[in-house]
Structure 1
Amino acid sequence: MHSYLARQPVLNRNKETVGYELLFRDGPNNCFPDVGDEQATNRLLADNFFTHSAKKATGGKLAFINFPYCSLIQRVPLMFAKKSFIIEILETCEPTDELLEAVIELHQQGYLLALDDFVPSEAWNRFLPYVHFVKFDIQITPIAKAGFFIRRQRDRVEHLKFLAEKVETHEEFEAAHEAGFDLFQGYFFSRPEMIQRKTLTPCALTTMRLFQEISQDIVDFDTVEAIIANDVSLSYKLLRHVNGMTSAQAKPVTSFRQALVYLGEERLRRFISFVATAHAAERKPRSLYGLSVQRAQFSERLSKQISQTISGSQAFLAGLFSLLDSLLDHPIEDLITQLPLSDEVKAAVIHQQGPLGMILRLSQAYDQANWAEVAQLCRTLAVPESVVAELYLESLQWSSFIEKSSAD
């Protein structure tokens, strides 16, 4: 028996991930859930909160959960601790007296509530004192109109936070930011925010040099050690990571050479990949770093399920480098051609071609809860959707662990 889950990041004004909206998935045979809203909510709660796996999927951050009308009237959220999630009142709910009574009770019990896909109307005004988040779909409600509503409500309901949904571009993020939104949801953060430069910055250059070295068939540890030695922050992160893994040892690891002896070449190559990616993302939302690590893990695990001819390490590199343009603010073509990668990896990362390209497309489709695309790619790759769902959740848990440890 498997549970199925996807997530959409929620970012603050600094592009830092503060939570995730958890999305219900019905199983291997139904890309779009063939169940009603009530059953979908109940299944998501039963599968992911009674077993505590949702905390792993969100990395301990906020979870936004959709609740339809009947679930709210029946006070279903009261079955769970008030800190478990934020209750999203679905846009299909009618603003009845009965619903208002439920919302007031949940508010008084200390639960946090959100109005999903909100469209301003007089009927919903009486709900505003009892909710904490108002979510606007900016593809439906113009940003200017939402901004006018935000300015009016700031003085009336001080505790309200406003969330812009379906922010697809950097320009939309800037406009929503200017309009007064506090939180943002969409895929703009995972797309390149292109800044054309003639040269890379020192931090980015260090990262690129490390990527070049670990992409070689045989890692030159002398060269890698020299690169690390010239970057205090990166050296510190690496040693913290290694000593966290070797805490049971009598003596701490104090040099990169000691790390090499303990880890060996392949594990060290992957270790550098994780930390160097985190290092590159220091001025980026941490969700972008986490997504890179998660995608690398998912790609490697999936490659072992679909073909003996696909190298797990090549799949890992394709997943890791698939967001390199967003991390370093340079076109992906320019970056990937500087690395000694196989033609298969380059074709996958730049054009999403070949088996590795299909793996990347499947990872992206799952990130976006595009179940129709997921089903099509699973059929093409001849892998059961239940297997993909399990591997995706495993990769989420792994990336959360890595992201947490690298922040220490």
Structure 2
Amino acid sequence: MFAFIARQPILDIDKDVFAYELLFRDGVNNSYPSIEKSEATNKLLTQNCRTLALDEISCSKKSFINFQPETLLQKLHSSLNPENVVVELSTDGDPVTSLLDSCKQVKEMGFTIAIDNCRVESQWSKILPFIDMVKVDTSKSNVTHISENLKQFVDANVRLIADKVNTHDDFNICRDVGFDYFQGYFFSKPESIPHQNLPTSKLTLIELMGASSSATFDVENINRVIEHDVGLSYMLLRFINNPTINKRYKITSLRHALNYMGEVEIKKFIALLALTNLSDDKPLELLHLSLVRAKFCDLIGVEKNLGNNPPTAFLVGLFSMLDALLDQDMQILMEKLPLIEDVKVALCGGQNELSMYLMLVQAFESGNWLKVIRSAKILDLEQKLLHSLFNEAILWGNGVKRSISRHFPESKV
């Protein structure tokens, strides 16, 4: 199905994921590729290039897909379900009459329609009865001016998506003027940078994170910490019995889990477990993004024959948004965490091999394909392989997310 693809979350007013916008590398301007282009792309795919189905990419959420007019004329692919796909159309370069015809055609097929930067002039009002959502680039528009023109959309029962929402202040302003959904990485930024100590309840978790970065650690001590916390014990057992992680054995005890996983996997899990408990008051997508980053960086590390004890590549991806989770400056956090120096350098914006992994995964997230190409050359890795590894990371992240959802007992640490 889809191999060369990225995704960006669209959050609702509660900062929960409403949908993902899908960005296609082999389409014009990240749009859905034409039939001819799709066939050419499929011929290029090798067996090691894992392709994803739509529900895997979007984690069973709605998918926003940008279409070019010529693709719509070929009819939408039969595999696209109108219940799950939102057809996104751009107003750039298309006359009103042409866009209106496209809206009517897509609407007859049962799809939800989102228009990118719909104008407020009177000639565009004839489109409103056929569209469901309007996306506004708030980085280029004055939000106050936008708010003065919201009434026509509200009256037409059109929902509003604020795009390029890059700070918490942007989110608050857009929310207050009446936007329904928000696209951008504002949620991955710290809300404030206070110079304050971490609460006592999180210090044990920080110690566990530090243990995951040590070349050796005391398994018995880790066992005692987890055994005395029902929330951590429950999550460990739920995690290790997730089919994404373990397809062969039913793990029934903490000791069994520790013996089954092995030292390196224990370290990864400890770091993951600690991060999950630190993120209890943050958007779940922030943790989800950290999971995908962790797995992707880990897979790159394997390809580059990077040593995995400690699992430094995994830790760099997993901890890459620790500042946003704890609302503290990353440099200050690195002074508190007993992580190895290479991990600290990469997380604080320094230059080393691990920072290249982080730069690469960020390029995938934003659909910056030119940067992906450049990074692939620097790392001397095939681009098709990188896309395959990113797809694998998405699948892993989706599976782990389900096993560490918020529906578990609260930690008592």
TM-score by structure 1 length?
A: 0.87
Shift of 1:355: 0.9
Worse overlay, 226-235 or 9-18: 226-235
Partner residue in 2 for 1:289 = 287
Contact preservation (8 Å) 1:95, 1:124:
no
What is the distance in 2 between the residues matched to 1:148 and 1:233? 48
- For 1:171-320, list aligned pairs within 5 A: 171-244=169-242, 253-254=252-253, 256-307=254-305, 313-320=311-318
List per-residue Cα deviations over 1:208-265 (Å, max 9, x = no partner): 1221222222232333234334544333222322344679767x624x3332123232
The answer to whether structure 1 residue 133 and structure 2 residue 126 are counterparts is no
Say if 1:148 and 1:173 are closer, same or farther in 2 by CA, change over 3 A. same
Give the secondary structure class of the aligned counterpart of 1:7: strand
What is the distance in 1 between the residues matched to 2:64 and 2:237? 36
Stretches of structure 2 that go unaligned for 5 or more consecutive residues are 43-50, 408-413
Q: Which of 358, 366, 369 does residue 367 from structure 2 map onto?
A: 369
Contact preservation (8 Å) 1:163, 1:185:
yes
Partner residue in 1 for 2:70 = 70
Contact preservation (8 Å) 2:334, 2:344:
yes
1:219 maps to a residue whose letter is F
Partner residue in 2 for 1:29 = none
List per-residue Cα deviations over 1:258-308 (Å, max 9, x = no partner): 321232322222222223222222221222111111111111111232355
List per-residue Cα deviations over 1:26-56 (Å, max 9, x = no partner): 3xxxxxx6x58887354787779xx752321
Partner residue in 1 for 2:116 = 116
2:395 maps to a residue whose letter is Q
Q: Which of 313, 322, 325 does residue 324 from structure 1 map onto?
A: 322
What is the distance in 2 between the residues matched to 1:249 and 1:366? 34
Say if 1:2 and 1:387 are closer, same or farther in 2 by CA, change over 3 A. farther
Q: Which of 385, 388, 397 does residue 387 from structure 1 map onto?
A: 385
What is the distance in 1 between the residues matched to 2:187 and 2:391? 21
The answer to whether structure 1 residue 337 and structure 2 residue 330 are counterparts is no
Say if 1:123 and 1:232 are closer, same or farther in 2 by CA, change over 3 A. farther
Q: CA RMSD in A?
A: 2.9
Shift of 1:24: 1.1
Say if 1:210 and 1:398 are closer, same or farther in 2 by CA, change over 3 A. same
Partner residue in 2 for 1:53 = 53
Contact preservation (8 Å) 2:32, 2:65:
no
Say if 1:2 and 1:379 are closer, same or farther in 2 by CA, change over 3 A. farther
Give the secondary structure class of the aligned counterpart of 1:353: coil
Partner residue in 2 for 1:81 = 81
* Higher helix fraction (1 or 2): 1
Give the secondary structure class of the aligned counterpart of 1:22: strand
> When the two structures are aligned, how many residues end up with a matched partner?
395
Stretches of structure 1 that go unaligned for 5 or more consecutive residues are 27-32
Partner residue in 1 for 2:410 = none
TM-score by structure 2 length?
A: 0.86
Partner residue in 2 for 1:351 = 349
